[in-house]
Structure 1
Amino acid sequence: MRTETGIRTVELGVALASTYMVAVTLIQTSLYGKLKPWILSFLAPLLLAYGIDPTFFDIMILGVVLSISFLAWRKGDAAGFGRLFSLNMLMFFPAVIDFSMFNWVNLIFPYDPAPQVLPVWAFGVGLLLQATYLTLRYTVRFRGIREELVGRDADEADVDEVSRGQMIYLVQLVLGTALISAGVYYGVLYVKPLMLSEASKLPYPHIIIGVVSTFL
């Protein structure tokens, strides 16, 4: 039981941490800053009617998404964690757009991208979301395996040993994924000039690279 509690604690930690970090990042994006006055123009009268200061809107957003994250953790199934991941990715989208070389949202809704966070911050939050996805995806499976073993009257000590081994594997998987992602992120900085030089020699490079990337 102690091992299962540990697994659930890890789930709670990564769920709340990822949601908090991505919400803080969202609040500092250009798109959010552009839309916030419009949103408040509609919500401010309602908030004031309930005695809520609209200046605390950012904190309200943070509280709402953290509550959703907690409820998803409390439910503890794959569907709930899947919806949480979708919510986090939706909140992370404006940060990705801020640093994108092709900001298609700007074609529909013109604004000047001026993110208040550094690219490495956005990368770190994206890495945290990736780690959260892997962690929650596997811990749900691990708990299912525990229930199956317990249902077969397996010894509790043996079940705990299996769970500990699975968690060690998960830690190695998450760390390995993070290191590879970080290596690619920083490695691109060195190969980018060479890639741009080679791409400039191609006719219609954006189309060719896009087609090749699609097939890959």
Structure 2
Amino acid sequence: MRTETGIRTVELGVALASTYMVAVTLAQTSIYGKLKPWILRFLAPLLLSFGADPAFFDIMILGVVLSISFLAWRRGDEAGFGRLFSLNMLMFFPAVIDFSMFNWVNLIFPYDPAPQVGDLWVFGVGLLLQATYLTLRYTVRFRGIREELIGRDADEGDVNEVSRGQMTYLVQLVLGTALISAGVYFGAPYVKNLLSAEVAGLPYPHVIIGVACTFLIAAAIILYLRGGGSRPEAVGEAPGEAEV
């Protein structure tokens, strides 16, 4: 069971790390800074009645979300991890809005965006959330495959070999995704400048680019579906499983 313990340890590490980083980021966003005094105005009497100092409100929030993350890990199923990812994305939303070119929240709730973290920090946290989602999504299925193989009386050594192969595949997937995302993030400004110069002479460039992007997205979806991306059981075909 040492291999399964390793998988569960990886799950715990990425779950707590992503929740911690996104909670720390949330506490440094403009929306949180704007809403915090109003929240404390209502919660301060309740906190004081329990002997809690409102000055440590940020630490309390951090403790609550880390506890939720731990409980989701302890539950260990896909539904629990899905809810954890939704919680993390909800906390990450204010940081994205702070750097958005279309801050629609500001239209409803006027405030001056003044985040205490930079765009590179926000990108890094977003990348961590992406890696966490991929990791937890696949490790849950890997554990399910382990249980199925053990239930068929497969040799434990062979099952462990399958799990190690799957985890190697997962590491490659996460690293590849991170590299592609980083390439897009750092390369986008250069591509934007290049395209701006090229389309400057075109009539209605926004329409032409919009139509081209629409066709590219449609083509990508078709290729994804034809490639078996809609089959969730495809993860069971990760390298190493066929060896049992």
TM-score normalised per structure 2: 0.84
Q: Residue 93 of structure 1 aligns with which residue? A: 93
Structure 1 distance, partners of 2:70, 2:84, is 10
CA 1:200/1:85 → structure 2, altered by over 3 Å: closer, same or farther?
Answer: farther
Structure 1 distance, partners of 2:89, 2:211, is 25
May I ask how many residue pairs the two structures share in their alignment? 215
CA 1:46/1:140 → structure 2, altered by over 3 Å: closer, same or farther?
Answer: same
- Alpha-carbon RMSD: 1.7
Q: Residue 4 of structure 2 aligns with which residue? A: 4
Q: Residue 115 of structure 1 aligns with which residue? A: 115
Structure 2 distance, partners of 1:23, 1:79, is 21
Task: Tell me how far 1:203 sits from its aligned partner.
Answer: 3.8
Structure 2 distance, partners of 1:32, 1:65, is 15
Structure 1 distance, partners of 2:31, 2:210, is 26
Q: Residue 164 of structure 2 aligns with which residue? A: 164
CA 1:17/1:143 → structure 2, altered by over 3 Å: closer, same or farther?
Answer: same
CA 1:54/1:154 → structure 2, altered by over 3 Å: closer, same or farther?
Answer: same
Give 4+ residue runs of structure 1 displaced > 4 Å after superposition. Answer: 199-202, 207-215
Structure 1 distance, partners of 2:138, 2:119, is 29
Task: Tell me how far 1:200 sits from its aligned partner.
Answer: 8.8
1:16-35 map, 5 Å:
16-35=16-35
| Cα shift readout 1:126-169 (whole Å, capped 9, x = no counterpart) | 00000000000000000000000000000000000000000000
Structure 2 distance, partners of 1:65, 1:212, is 42
Could you list the runs of 5+ residues in structure 2 that have no partner in the other structure?
A: 218-244
**Correspondence 1:132 to 2:132:** yes
- Residue type of the alignment partner of 1:56: F
Partner SS state of residue 4, structure 1: helix
Q: Residue 56 of structure 1 aligns with which residue? A: 56
| Cα shift readout 1:2-56 (whole Å, capped 9, x = no counterpart) | 0000000000000000000000000000010011011111101111111111010
CA 1:202/1:34 → structure 2, altered by over 3 Å: closer, same or farther?
Answer: farther
Q: Residue 187 of structure 2 aligns with which residue? A: 187
Q: Residue 71 of structure 2 aligns with which residue? A: 71
CA 1:48/1:172 → structure 2, altered by over 3 Å: closer, same or farther?
Answer: same
CA 1:60/1:137 → structure 2, altered by over 3 Å: closer, same or farther?
Answer: same
TM-score normalised per structure 1: 0.94
- Residue type of the alignment partner of 1:113: P
Q: Residue 238 of structure 2 aligns with which residue? A: none
Structure 1 distance, partners of 2:49, 2:209, is 54
Could you list the runs of 5+ residues in structure 1 that have no partner in the other structure?
A: none
- Residue type of the alignment partner of 2:99: F
